[in-house]
Amino acid sequence: MSPVEAADCCRPIDGLLDPELFKALGDPTRVRLLGCLAKCGRACSVSEVAECCSVDFSVVSRHLALLERAGVVESSKQGRTVSYVVKYAELSRMLRALADAIDECRPSDGAGSCEGGCCTTC
């Protein structure tokens, strides 16, 4: 199938390639912060998370806010302290669904054809 034909072909991958998710996971510092949070296994304050990377507190806060907008973490506020926790089930669901959609796009015959009605129209 040509790229033009592929663009006209609706598949589950179309809705799963979320630019916000890729933006959130496309920065090495954010990935490091997410890894730190994931390994902690609990909600951590911004200052706690800042300790795991040599990044300024305000920068960590902005990074965590972007991860939250992407649906990867969630925050809670108690007084002046903001804590973040990984949304483990949601993150796993997003990545697993994307992996499944990528597998579905892979041609079974190696020729890249769209025989058998594998594509649906929008």
CATH number at residue 7: 1.10.10.10
Cα(32)–Cα(52) distance, integer angstroms? 8
**Is residue 31 assigned to a domain?**
yes
This prediction has a pTM of: 0.77
Would you say residue 14 lies in a domain? yes
Backbone angles phi, psi at 101, to 5 degrees: -65, -35
pLDDT, the chain, mean: 85
In this structure, is residue 42 part of a structural domain? yes
Q: pLDDT band at residue 106, thresholds of 50, 70 and 90?
A: confident
User: Number of structural domains, the chain?
Assistant: 1
pLDDT of residue 62: 95
Range of the domain at 63: 3-105
**pLDDT, tens digit, for every residue of 31-88?**
999 999 999 999 999 999 998 888 888 899 999 999 999 999 999 999 999 999 999 9
In a domain, 59, yes or no: yes
Listed in sequence order, the residues at least 6 apart from 71 whose beta carbon sits closer than 8 Å to its beta carbon are 20, 21, 87, 90, 91, 94
